[in-house]
């Protein structure tokens, strides 16, 4: 349905729907930024405790962490 054929009430409903979608999109971006920030902080903490991790590949780091953290579960 084109916007020219929409009633005032239909336009209001469509606008409200778009506002909700925009708010949800903003929330997703906000959550993604918070996650990225947390991951960066966790990586920095790991590097500060074990500077040698800077030289490891991701696979090496994963293996080391699995070995050292297995007993903590």
Q: Where are the domains of the chain?
A: 3-72
Looking at residue 5, its pLDDT comes to 81
Q: Give the CA distances from residue 25 to residues 6, 30, 41, in Å, rounded to whole numbers and listed in that order.
A: 26, 9, 24
Mean pLDDT over 4-21 rounds to: 92
Flag whether the pTM goes above 0.85. Answer: no
Query: Distance between CA atoms of 59 and 49, rounded to whole angstroms?
Result: 19
Looking at residue 72, its pLDDT comes to 80
pLDDT digits (tens, 9 = 90+) for 23-73: 999 999 999 999 999 999 999 999 999 999 999 999 999 999 999 889 786
User: How would residue 3 be classed by pLDDT, with cut points 50, 70 and 90?
Assistant: low
């Amino acid at each position: 349905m084109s916007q020219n054929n929409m009633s005032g009430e239909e336009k209001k409903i469509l606008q409200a729907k778009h506002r909700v979608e925009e708010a949800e999109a903003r929330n997703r971006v906000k959550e993604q930024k918070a996650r990225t920030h947390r991951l960066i902080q966790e990586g920095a903490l790991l590097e500060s405790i074990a500077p040698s991790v800077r030289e490891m590949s991701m696979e090496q780091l994963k293996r080391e962490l699995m070995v050292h953290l297995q007993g903590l579960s």
